Amino acid sequence: MLEREALESNLARARSGDGEAREELLRAYKPHVLKIAEKSCGRGLEWGRDDELSIGLIALNEAVDRFNMERSDSFAAFAGLVIKSRLKDYYRREKKLIPQDLSLQDGEEEVTPAELSKAWELYRREKEALERASEITEYGKLLADYEITFSELVNIAPKRKQHRQELIAASREMSRRRDLMAYLFRNRRLPLNELGVACGLGRKTLERGRKYIIAVALVLYHRERFLYLNSYLSLDDSGPEGVR
């Protein structure tokens, strides 16, 4: 099997029409096809002799086109589901007895499409929750570099909408200016004079809101690192109304 980086690269290339990348994927996961098919059918199988392996290889090729990295971390697990599904279809089509190991995997009842969809949705939500928790932990460590805590943010967040929008506008201007962010990273404080000129706010206003401005600017500047926080705070170009 392939490492994640190689897997992602080959999947993208295969879907773009790169036959060599697709062949590499099929070769790498051919042993996986054999393992899944033999376990599902409950007997030893041989390439070139048993139809089940040909069906499994076709299913693997289908999995290459259907796999979604955002819904699952494991291509092997997803490919296994597709292989088992296509083997069931094959046995039904050929009017053959479906092997017990295939019809009732691990003693569980067959999963319907609706149940499978719910399972995927539950998995997706759990995965997002873990990623959000990871983001918050990482953000908390970043804030600590500037002596800011989450409890402080709750207390210092501007209550008036206009004032909040002014500080967010300052944060946005800050995040767009590499020179201002470089000053922040280097000195761990706001470049008050330069930022005041850039956003039109007075020095005292910036000083009072400095921790809030820094906290928001860090989220905006590190958009790729804090995707969920950006989404939750509604910190996009349409406006700052969602920030509380």
Interval 215-233: pLDDT, tens: 999 999 998 888 888 876 6
Euclidean distance between CA atoms 46 and 232, whole angstroms: 53
Residues 21 and 71 sit within 8 Å (Cβ to Cβ): no
**pLDDT confidence bin for 127, thresholds 50/70/90:** low
Cα 114 to Cα 52: distance, rounded to the nearest angstrom: 26
**Is the pLDDT reported for residue 45 higher than 80?**
yes
Rounded CA separation 220/172 (Å): 7
C-alpha 147/C-alpha 205 separation (Å) is 19
How far apart are the C-alpha atoms of 38 and 199, rounded to whole Å?
67
Q: Which two tokens stand for residue 49?
A: 């002799």
**Domains of the chain and CATH, by start:** 4-110 (1.10.1740), 129-233 (no CATH)
pLDDT value at 242 more than 50: no
Q: Is 137:86 a contact under the CB 8 Å cutoff?
A: no
The answer to whether residues 171 and 150 touch, using CB atoms and an 8 Å cutoff, is: no
pLDDT of residue 211: 95
Question: Average pLDDT for residues 66-73, to the nearest whole number?
Answer: 75
Yes or no: say if 181 and 175 are a contact pair by the CB < 8 Å rule.
yes
What percent of the chain shows pLDDT beyond 90? 38
Inform me whether the pLDDT recorded for 85 exceeds 90: no
Is the confidence at residue 241, as pLDDT, over 50? no
Residue 159 CA to residue 162 CA, distance in Å, equals: 9
Residue 106 in tokens: 């691990």
DSSP assignment letter at 157 = S
